[in-house]
Structure 1
Amino acid sequence: MSSLPRRPLVLGLCAVVVLALLAVAAFVRLPFTIMYPGITVNTLGVYDGQRVITITGHPLRQTSGELRMVTIAATPPQDSISIGAALRAWPNPSEAVVPRAAVYPAGQSVAQVNAQDQQEMNQSQQAATTAALNHLKLSPDKVKVGLSLADVGGPSAGLLFTLGIIDELDGNGTGKPGAAGDLTNGAVVAGTGEIDDSGQVSQVGGVALKTKAAARDGATVFLVPQAECADAEAGLPKGLRLVPVTSLDDALSALTALQTGVGAVPACS
Structure 2
Amino acid sequence: MPRRTATLLASTLMLIALLCGGVLIPVPYAAMSPGPTVNTLGDHDGKPVLQITGRTTYPTSGHLNMTTVQVTGPDYRMNLFEAVYGWLDPNRAVVPHKTLYPEGQTAQQADQQNAEEFTQSQESAKVAALKQLNIPVATQTVVGAVVKDKPADGLLHAGDVIKAVDGKAVTQTGDVAKFVTRHKPGEKVVFTVIPAKDAAAAKQQGKRPEGPGKDVTLTTAADSGRAVVGIQAQADHIFPFHIDVKLADVGGPSAGLMFALGIVDKLSPGGNLTGGKFVAGTGTIDDQGNVGPIGGISMKTIGAREKGAEFFLTPKENCASAAKDTPSGLRLVKVGTIGDAVKALEKIRANDTAGLPSCSPAGRA
Q: TM-score, normalised by structure 2?
A: 0.66
The corresponding residue for 2:64 is: 67
For 1:143 and 1:196, the matched residues in 2 are separated by 20
Question: 245, 249, 267: which is aligned to 1:169?
Answer: 267
The corresponding residue for 1:208 is: 298
2:280/2:309 contact within 8 Å kept: yes
Q: Which has the higher strand share?
A: 2
2:276/2:349 contact within 8 Å kept: no
For 2:19 and 2:68, the matched residues in 1 are separated by 35
The alignment partner of 2:27 has SS state of coil
RMSD of aligned residue pairs (Cα, Å): 2.0
For 1:143 and 1:9, the matched residues in 2 are separated by 81
For 1:111 and 1:217, the matched residues in 2 are separated by 31
The corresponding residue for 2:92 is: 95
The corresponding residue for 2:174 is: none
The corresponding residue for 1:185 is: 275
**Which residues of structure 1 form unaligned runs of 5+?**
171-176
Larger Rg: 2
For 1:92 and 1:14, the matched residues in 2 are separated by 32
The alignment partner of 1:185 has SS state of coil
The corresponding residue for 1:19 is: 15
Question: 355, 358, 365: which is aligned to 1:267?
Answer: 358
The one-character-per-residue Cα deviations of 1:115-164 (angstroms, maximum 9, x if unpaired) are 10010011111111001111111134422211121110101001000100
Name the % identity.
42
Letter of the structure 1 residue corresponding to residue 344 of structure 2? A
The corresponding residue for 2:333 is: 243
Letter of the structure 1 residue corresponding to residue 20 of structure 2? V
Letter of the structure 2 residue corresponding to residue 221 of structure 1? F
2:334/2:359 contact within 8 Å kept: yes
2:258/2:282 contact within 8 Å kept: yes
Deviation for aligned residue 1:26? 2.5
Deviation for aligned residue 1:57? 2.0
Q: Which runs of 4+ in 1 moved over 4 A?
A: 8-14
For 2:2 and 2:261, the matched residues in 1 are separated by 79
Moved more, 47-56 or 90-99: 47-56
Question: 99, 107, 116: which is aligned to 1:119?
Answer: 116
The corresponding residue for 2:81 is: 84
Deviation for aligned residue 1:211? 0.1
Aligned length: 257
Letter of the structure 1 residue corresponding to residue 258 of structure 2? L
Q: Which has the higher helix share?
A: 1
Letter of the structure 1 residue corresponding to residue 243 of structure 2? V
